[in-house]
Amino acid sequence: MAYQALYRQWRPRDFSQMVGQEAIVETLRHQVQTGRIAHAYLFCGSRGTGKTSAAKILARAVNCMHPQDGNPCGKCETCQRMQAEDYMDILEFDAASNSSVEDARELLERVSFPPQFGAYKVYIIDEVHMLSNSAFNALLKTLEEPPEYLVFILATTEPYKLPATILSRCQRFDFGRIPAAQIQGRLREAVLGARGEASDGALMTIARAAEGGMRDALSILDMCLGYGRKIDEKLVRDVLGTSDRAFLFRFSSALRSENAAELIRLVDELMSRGKDPLVFSRDVSSHLRTLILAKCCGESIAETLDLTAEDAAEYIRESESFTTSRMMDMLDLFMHLETELRYSGSPRIALENTSLKCCLRTKETDTLALNDRIAELEAEIKLLEDRVKNIPAQGPLQEKEQTESGKTAASSPAAASRKPREKSTAVKKPESMTPLGRSTDEVWKEALKILQKTEPSIHGMFLMGLFAGSDGKEYRWKANPGFEIIASSLNSGERKPKIEEALTAASGTECTFTALDASQDQQKVEEASDEKYLEELYDTFGHEPVDVVDEIPQK
Ligand SMILES: [Zn+2]
């Protein structure tokens, strides 16, 4: 006997064998039981959701002489006849392959002949949206005044393409996608029927890939059984050409950390395994969608997406490190890639390019991402400010800053009170004055002026940091964070003597120079501020020991 495809073997023979669509099945059965049959039905829904199966069962049920619970009995004379393929009163017509007016006219010409055996003459028109306009007009004419015995069952995946005049004359049923768990159940029966073995994971992978369509699910299972009786997840993935979840998690983790090198490496791994970039980009889209849902819905995705609790937890964990808007942007990019790949001559380049685009975070709009960006920008501004502060030290700007600070001192009492104190410290510390009568600050500025003329390249390097103080002999400078290399370059044998020469000339006494990077400097700054704090204490309390007593509360 010739092999019959699984989806034919498992096509439901009555309503009780249908998987999913419980509400629709219930309504149709009730109509058969009560004899309230409509003249036109419209079954809508995506492929493989049971529209044609339901239509065929309904066509037999309305003609059965003794229907059982709304199902055809399978025993009566009409049922026996109907089981033979060439039953005259059920006419099936595929509009996708016969869309011309002639075909439709020929079909509808037979409408005027009453049924030969049963009570109804049933027309099943598949993909009815494919009919031409004239064919629709012919159909409409019949639907306006249908003979008593006539039933039309129109099935379509695209109901919005039907004229409103047709829609308004039909009783409409929308067939939803069948839940993966229900598909998995039917697949298990089919595997056992075929004397095969399959893991739960393998059957669930097939069920998910079928996206709610039973026919697709059975066809995939059929293909898998072609490779052997034992089916595991790996075999299913090979048949489908899809990527495994672990790989997708590695990929999304690289996207999250914006690790461009890792992404390119993963694409390379994918290509060397002979995977199709288009299939992969669909997998990434679906993975990102799951992550977005995990972020938005939390644990309830286990139910929505037919996931196990552990799988759901894994998605939720991964989604936590992404912002929703970032994932949505990435999903946009990958969905766009799917379209692009259909026409692209270089699919690998397109895939790499999209992966890298995901690392560019320029379009983000949600608060978390904006906060990130603001923090980054603030850090940059701080860096620029530090540099600008250092610039007045080298020229005419210096005087301008001084007059400006003088103005501020006069206008702000806080600054006014601070100013004289700094002066008094300077007076009290003659050791900080150099033989030429300059303060260490002034020596530094003067040395920079000298270097600006003699060694402009060294002078330029000082813009990447700040003067960090001096004890009158050693002059210290600190590099801004990220410019540690400048510090080590200034400390190098060639530049250091030139800087020390300039400092010596500016101060009138032998000077040394040390460049610090940000981390070293922290210590020195702390030491310096300790010293300063001590000086302030001496200013206030003098050098003699002071008794500290608890304040007595006043009554
Ligand atoms: Zn019957």
DSSP string, 17-58: G--S-HHHHHHHHHHHHHT---SEEEEEESTTSSHHHHHHHH
197 and 252 share a domain?
Answer: no
Q: Beta strand 197-198 with 171-175: parallel, antiparallel or unpaired?
A: unpaired
Q: What is the percentage of the chain residues whose pLDDT exceeds 70?
A: 83
Q: What is the pLDDT of residue 42?
A: 96
Closest CA to 173 of 201, 154, 147, 187: 154
165 and 301 share a domain?
Answer: no
161 and 309 share a domain?
Answer: no
What is d(CA 261, CA 418) in angstroms, rounded to the nearest whole number? 54
125 and 64 share a domain?
Answer: yes
Is residue 410 pLDDT above 70, yes or no?
no
> 364 lies in a domain?
no
Choose the weakest-confidence range: 68-72, 76-80, 287-291, 516-520. Answer: 516-520
User: Which range has highest mean pLDDT (345-349, 422-426, 541-545)?
Assistant: 345-349
More confident residue, 366 or 93: 93
Which H or E element spans position 543?
Answer: none
74 and 200 share a domain?
Answer: no
Q: What is the pLDDT of residue 169?
A: 93
Q: What is the pLDDT of residue 27?
A: 95
> How many residues belong to the chain?
555
Identity of the amino acid at 347? P
Range of the domain at 353: 245-357
Identity of the amino acid at 113? F
In the reported structure, the alpha carbon of residue 147 is separated from the centroid of ligand 1 by a whole-number distance in angstroms of 23
More confident residue, 551 or 298: 298
Q: What is the pLDDT of residue 199?
A: 92
414 and 440 share a domain?
Answer: yes
Q: What is the percentage of the chain residues whose pLDDT exceeds 90?
A: 28
In the reported structure, the alpha carbon of residue 20 is separated from the centroid of ligand 1 by a whole-number distance in angstroms of 24
More confident residue, 433 or 284: 284
Is residue 11 pLDDT above 70, yes or no?
yes
Average pLDDT on 331-351 reads 90
214 and 125 share a domain?
Answer: no
Q: In total, how many domains does the chain have?
A: 4
Domain boundary among 192, 209, 240: 240
In the reported structure, the alpha carbon of residue 77 is separated from the centroid of ligand 1 by a whole-number distance in angstroms of 7
Domain boundary among 198, 221, 240: 240
Residue 317 belongs to a domain with what CATH number?
A: 1.20.272.10
> 478 lies in a domain?
yes
Q: What is the pLDDT of residue 372?
A: 60
Are the CB atoms for 73 and 118 separated by under 8 Å?
Answer: no
Q: What is the pLDDT of residue 548?
A: 60
Are the CB atoms for 332 and 263 separated by under 8 Å?
Answer: no
In the reported structure, the alpha carbon of residue 37 is separated from the centroid of ligand 1 by a whole-number distance in angstroms of 17
Average pLDDT on 231-237 reads 89
Residue 105 belongs to a domain with what CATH number?
A: 3.40.50.300
Q: What is the pLDDT of residue 44?
A: 94
What is d(CA 532, CA 20) in angstroms, rounded to the nearest whole number? 81
In the reported structure, the alpha carbon of residue 79 is separated from the centroid of ligand 1 by a whole-number distance in angstroms of 4
User: Which range has highest mean pLDDT (180-194, 273-287, 387-401, 441-455)?
Assistant: 180-194
190 and 270 share a domain?
Answer: no
Average pLDDT on 509-531 reads 71
Is residue 223 pLDDT above 60, yes or no?
yes
Q: With left for phi above 0 and alpha for psi between -120 and 50, is residue 195 left, alpha or beta?
A: left
What is d(CA 73, CA 213) in angstroms, rounded to the nearest whole number? 27
In the reported structure, the alpha carbon of residue 117 is separated from the centroid of ligand 1 by a whole-number distance in angstroms of 12
Are the CB atoms for 190 and 6 separated by under 8 Å?
Answer: yes
161 and 87 share a domain?
Answer: yes
What is d(CA 106, CA 113) in angstroms, rounded to the nearest whole number? 13
Are the CB atoms for 159 and 185 separated by under 8 Å?
Answer: no
Q: What is the pLDDT of residue 492?
A: 78
What is d(CA 122, CA 57) in angstroms, rounded to the nearest whole number? 11
Choose the weakest-confidence range: 154-163, 271-280, 328-337. Answer: 271-280
DSSP structure class, residue 68: B
In the reported structure, the alpha carbon of residue 74 is separated from the centroid of ligand 1 by a whole-number distance in angstroms of 5
Q: What is the pLDDT of residue 190?
A: 94
Is residue 403 pLDDT above 80, yes or no?
no
What is d(CA 91, CA 59) in angstroms, rounded to the nearest whole number? 10
Place 94 in a pLDDT band, splitting at 50, 70 and 90. confident
Place 388 in a pLDDT band, splitting at 50, 70 and 90. confident
> 378 lies in a domain?
no
More confident residue, 541 or 132: 132
Place 33 in a pLDDT band, splitting at 50, 70 and 90. very high
Average pLDDT on 189-211 reads 90
In the reported structure, the alpha carbon of residue 154 is separated from the centroid of ligand 1 by a whole-number distance in angstroms of 23
Q: What is the pLDDT of residue 100?
A: 59
More confident residue, 192 or 549: 192
418 and 525 share a domain?
Answer: yes
In the reported structure, the alpha carbon of residue 59 is separated from the centroid of ligand 1 by a whole-number distance in angstroms of 11
Is residue 416 pLDDT above 60, yes or no?
no
In the reported structure, the alpha carbon of residue 67 is separated from the centroid of ligand 1 by a whole-number distance in angstroms of 6
> 44 lies in a domain?
yes
Residue 492 belongs to a domain with what CATH number?
A: 3.30.300.180
Which H or E element spans position 241?
Answer: none
More confident residue, 429 or 307: 307
Average pLDDT on 158-182 reads 91
Q: pLDDT tens digits for 41-67? A: 999 998 889 999 999 999 999 999 999
Choose the weakest-confidence range: 70-79, 181-190, 298-307, 543-552. Answer: 543-552
Q: 3-state DSSP call for residue 88?
A: coil
Choose the weakest-confidence range: 112-121, 255-264, 386-395. Answer: 386-395
Are the CB atoms for 477 and 465 separated by under 8 Å?
Answer: yes
Domain boundary among 126, 150, 175: 175
Choose the weakest-confidence range: 404-413, 473-482, 491-500. Answer: 404-413
> 310 lies in a domain?
yes
More confident residue, 55 or 228: 55
Q: What is the pLDDT of residue 214?
A: 92
In the reported structure, the alpha carbon of residue 71 is separated from the centroid of ligand 1 by a whole-number distance in angstroms of 8
33 and 162 share a domain?
Answer: yes
Average pLDDT on 424-430 reads 41
196 and 305 share a domain?
Answer: no
> 297 lies in a domain?
yes
> 368 lies in a domain?
no
Query: Within 13 A of 11's CA, how many CA atoms are on the CB side?
Result: 13
In the reported structure, the alpha carbon of residue 288 is separated from the centroid of ligand 1 by a whole-number distance in angstroms of 50
Q: Is 351 exposed, middle or buried (0-12, 13-18, 19+ CB in 10 A)?
A: buried
> 520 lies in a domain?
yes
In the reported structure, the alpha carbon of residue 116 is separated from the centroid of ligand 1 by a whole-number distance in angstroms of 16
Residue 231 belongs to a domain with what CATH number?
A: 1.10.8.60
Is residue 194 pLDDT above 80, yes or no?
yes
What is d(CA 348, CA 338) in angstroms, rounded to the nearest whole number? 12
